[in-house]
């Protein structure tokens, strides 16, 4: 496969025909090739719509179809695999879905001319079938990351054991890794919380499927925008801007430097505690906002409960040692 030249529409058509030959009902193109903006290194992005799909085998089918498409056109191809019932629901019933987000790009490249097989239009769906369900899915993402914050807010036994080493290098390395993981979980809790509010507030699907939290917040209702911006700015001496919250998705994975500092140097115990508290407050706000729009739900209650619990633990314990903090102490800024 080559990435030296930009992929073309003809490349995409060859890939699409190979998918139809493999039994796919419709093949749609989206992304940079569909927009005429492809460059060397760009992928060809396809949607493969089958008459029926066993959702439990989606990843296997995806791999098989991608291999066929790549072999047919000699290009790097990414295939989103779905079936007709799911495709219809995601396009018509879930305005905030990823399928809705790419709808402005969609171009039908190929279709099977054979009569459509019997389709079970009422089959059980594994993806959210409404924006309300999608918002709750985002809240479950918030909950997952709140549990990660809770798991990384105090030292693990191996980290405690290294605290007494004559050479503190390994101890500081392990502690730094833990605090970076806490910051990464806080970032993802905030992103999922913002997206949950955005889904029930009518934010554009294209915005909701990016990772720009500031952009999502800017498209919310004025009251939500002001409230969330205030929460993100609650520790300005440590978390200097919203970018210091949203940078951990990549910094946590790659340790990329910020302002000349490594990820571990930025993620001090005080900083990690501050960003964790911000994440808890944003999570609680999102739970309230979603409940106000769609009503009560166990996912909403779980997020609210965990946000309160984790916030109290962060406030009461030193993220460096795990010991209790001074009674009544707030965020410690440098």
CATH architecture of 9-111: 2-Layer Sandwich (3.30)
Q: Are strands 44-50 and 26-30 parallel, antiparallel or unpaired?
A: antiparallel
User: Terminal CA-to-CA distance of the chain, rounded, Å?
Assistant: 52
User: How many CB atoms are located within 10 Å of the residue 321 CB?
Assistant: 14
β-bridge mates for residue 322, sequence order: none
What pLDDT does residue 329 have? Answer: 47
| Per-residue model confidence (pLDDT) at position 45 | 98
Kindly report the pTM of this predicted structure.
0.91
Q: 244-259 pLDDT, tens per residue?
A: 999 998 887 787 777 7
How high is the pLDDT of residue 114? Answer: 75
CA Rg value for the chain: 23
pLDDT at 46: 98
The segments of the chain whose pLDDT lies below 70 read 1-3, 115, 117, 326-334
pLDDT digits (tens, 9 = 90+) for 114-156: 767 689 999 999 999 999 999 999 999 999 999 999 999 999 8
Q: What's CA 63's distance to the chain center, in Å?
A: 22
CA 27, CA 298: separation in Å to the nearest integer? 38
Contact status, residue 217 vs residue 229, Cβ threshold 8 Å: yes
Cα 7 → chain centroid: 27
- Please choose, from the candidates 303, 298, 304, the residue with its C-alpha nearest in 3D space to the C-alpha of residue 139: 303
Outline where the chain has alpha helix (H): 9-21, 32-35, 58-73, 84-92, 98-101, 131-152, 157-162, 169-200, 205-208, 213-218, 222-232, 243-246, 248-254, 263-266, 269-294, 298-316
Question: Domain residues of the chain, as ranges?
Answer: 9-111, 131-316
The pLDDT, as a whole number, for residue 209 is: 96
């Amino acid at each position: 496969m080559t990435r030296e030249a930009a992929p073309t529409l003809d490349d995409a058509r060859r890939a699409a025909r190979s998918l139809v030959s493999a039994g796919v009902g419709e093949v749609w193109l989206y992304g940079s090739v569909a927009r005429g903006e492809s460059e060397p290194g760009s992928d060809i992005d396809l949607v493969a719509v089958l008459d029926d799909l066993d959702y439990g085998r989606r990843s296997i089918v995806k791999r098989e179809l991608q291999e066929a498409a790549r072999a047919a056109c000699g290009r790097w191809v990414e295939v989103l695999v779905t079936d007709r019932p799911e495709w219809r629901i995601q396009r018509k019933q879930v305005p905030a879905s990823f399928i809705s987000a790419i709808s402005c790009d969609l171009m039908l490249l190929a279709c099977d001319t054979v009569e459509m097989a019997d389709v079970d239009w009422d089959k059980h769906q594994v993806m959210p079938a409404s924006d309300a369900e999608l918002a709750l899915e985002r809240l479950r993402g918030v909950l997952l990351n709140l549990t990660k914050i809770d798991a990384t807010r105090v030292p693990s036994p191996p980290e405690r054991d290294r605290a007494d080493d004559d050479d503190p290098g390994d101890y500081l390395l392990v502690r730094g890794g833990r605090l970076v993981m806490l910051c990464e979980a806080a970032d993802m809790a905030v992103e999922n919380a913002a997206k949950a509010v955005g889904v029930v507030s009518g934010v554009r699907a294209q915005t909701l499927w990016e990772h720009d939290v500031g952009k999502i917040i800017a498209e919310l209702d004025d009251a939500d925008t002001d409230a969330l911006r205030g929460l993100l700015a609650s520790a300005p001496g440590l978390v200097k801007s919203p970018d210091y919250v949203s940078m951990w998705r990549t910094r946590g994975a790659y340790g990329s430097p910020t302002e000349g500092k490594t990820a571990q140097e930025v993620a001090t115990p005080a900083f990690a505690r501050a960003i964790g508290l911000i994440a808890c407050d944003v999570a609680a706000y999102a739970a309230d906002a979603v409940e106000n729009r769609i009503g009560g739900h166990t996912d909403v209650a779980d997020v609210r409960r965990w946000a309160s619990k984790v916030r109290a633990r962060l406030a009461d314990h030193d993220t460096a040692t795990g010991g209790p903090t001074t009674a009544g102490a707030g965020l410690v800024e440098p």
